[in-house]
Structure 1
Amino acid sequence: MTQRGRAGRSATGPRTTARPKSDLANRRAQLRAVIEPVVTEAGYDLEEVSVSRAGRRHIVRVIVDGDGGIGLDSVAEVSRAVSAALDAAEEAGGDLVAGEYQLEVSSPGVDRPLILPRHWRRNAGRLVKVTVKGGAPQADAGEGDRQITARVVSADDETVTLDQDGQQTAHRYTDLGPGRVQVEFSRLDQVTDEELTEIDDSDDDDDVEDEER
């Protein structure tokens, strides 16, 4: 789900000069420093901040999530709060984004990799594909690694319990690669329309030049 914010304005107008990656990384860090307290105060986690360019306009994408997910109304509220915080920072003299920008606030799609303990916890009950370090090597994994498809049973700060063919095993996060949620057609009623939209929207980003990566 995406809430599109208004275009921000710079006192000097749009600028299109290419910037070094280090400068973009600094801007991303500055943006995160402004945005994260706002998201945290609203009761959610800031998952990602990215800056990309489409034509003359920059796009600031903010991904937020929380236990139980985040609804469209909450996304809109967070978007307004983040927009106000960015405006205040700009007025205080902070050059956060060069030129015009568009703010997009959204929740993670089902294609978001599971990396942190909270990612695994929030996907309990779902089927995931993940690489487990150690064991017999496979063609689609690194040497000594094996790739499995299993269901997330539970997760805490140190381990996640996965059920593979009825056998439950606890794995430490350090022994796992990023998990990928598998969309089950027999369980499409458990996947929200917004999550499916995130997958569809990902195909529309091919023409956007990402300046961070």
Structure 2
Amino acid sequence: MFKEKVTSLLDKALEEKPSLFLIDFTVENNNTIRVVLDGDEGVDLQDCMDVSRAIEHNLDREEEDFSLEVTSAGAASPLELPRQYKKNIGRKLMVKIADEELEGNLTQATEDKITLEWKAREPKPVGKGKVTVQKKREIAFSDIHEAKVILKF
């Protein structure tokens, strides 16, 4: 009952802010509510406060005690949803698939796959030495074990 009410309040809060989307949501046995958000243009403190208030102000602590934590997906958090990939087009990603780890620029993201592009040094087809070649690979979401944005400082 409590979780259903919180879910309803969270859904309503997200409807009011269509650029935000849910990454993770849990209600533990001790009524600890955890909400992790992301957004098409990022998530700022005001967004977290608005969602938190939309939930907290509609629950009665006299009926049921709870704790509430609303956060944004961290910059180093793995990408989980296709919508997160779309907002990161043009950025460099590290993608782990079955037996390899790829680093490249995310150039495209659809509902079922991404496209990574990168430069690599390979031996010349004829003669000695190496040549720089442009590589491109499409990767289905189902093949991705983990993907993170590579941050530059």
Q: TM-score, normalized by length of structure 1?
A: 0.54
Distance in 1 of aligned mates of 2:9 and 2:82: 24
Percent pairwise identity: 26
Equivalent of residue 52 in structure 2, options 56, 75, 79: 79
Following superposition, the deviation at residue 127 of structure 1 comes to 2.1
Equivalent of residue 152 in structure 2, options 178, 184, 187: 184
What does residue 205 of structure 1 align with?
A: none
Following superposition, the deviation at residue 52 of structure 1 comes to 6.1
Q: Secondary structure at the match of 2:11?
A: helix
What amino acid is aligned across from residue 66 of structure 1 in structure 2?
G
The root-mean-square deviation of aligned C-alpha atoms, in Å, is 2.9
What does residue 129 of structure 1 align with?
A: 94
Equivalent of residue 110 in structure 2, options 147, 156, 161: 156
What amino acid is aligned across from residue 177 of structure 1 in structure 2?
H
Instruction: Determine if contact 2:6/2:55 at 8 Å carries over to the other structure.
Output: no
Equivalent of residue 106 in structure 1, options 45, 68, 71: 71
What amino acid is aligned across from residue 13 of structure 2 in structure 1?
V
Q: Give the structure with the larger helix fraction.
A: 1
What does residue 47 of structure 1 align with?
A: 23
User: Could you give the per-residue CA deviations for residues 169-193 of structure 1, whole angstroms, max 9, x where no partner exists?
Assistant: 22221222221222222xxxxxxxx
What does residue 35 of structure 2 align with?
A: 62
Aligned length: 138
Following superposition, the deviation at residue 28 of structure 1 comes to 5.6
Following superposition, the deviation at residue 167 of structure 1 comes to 2.1
Give structure 2 stretches of 5+ with no counterpart.
120-133
Instruction: Give the 3 Å change call, closer, same or farther, for CA 64–40 of structure 1 in structure 2.
Output: farther
The yes-or-no answer on 1:173 pairing with 2:127 is no
Q: Secondary structure at the match of 1:45?
A: strand
What amino acid is aligned across from residue 100 of structure 2 in structure 1?
R
Following superposition, the deviation at residue 155 of structure 1 comes to 0.8
Distance in 2 of aligned mates of 1:176 and 1:158: 11
Instruction: Give the 3 Å change call, closer, same or farther, for CA 46–164 of structure 1 in structure 2.
Output: same
Following superposition, the deviation at residue 110 of structure 1 comes to 1.5
Following superposition, the deviation at residue 108 of structure 1 comes to 0.8
Q: Which fold has the larger relative contact order, with Cα–Cα distance below 8 Å and residues 6 or more apart in sequence? A: 1
Instruction: Determine if contact 1:39/1:64 at 8 Å carries over to the other structure.
Output: no
Following superposition, the deviation at residue 37 of structure 1 comes to 3.2
What amino acid is aligned across from residue 103 of structure 1 in structure 2?
L
The yes-or-no answer on 1:35 pairing with 2:10 is yes
Q: Give the structure with the larger strand fraction.
A: 2
Instruction: Determine if contact 1:40/1:46 at 8 Å carries over to the other structure.
Output: no
Instruction: Determine if contact 1:28/1:49 at 8 Å carries over to the other structure.
Output: no
Q: Secondary structure at the match of 1:38?
A: helix
Following superposition, the deviation at residue 168 of structure 1 comes to 2.5
Distance in 1 of aligned mates of 2:87 and 2:143: 19
Larger Rg computed on CA atoms: 2
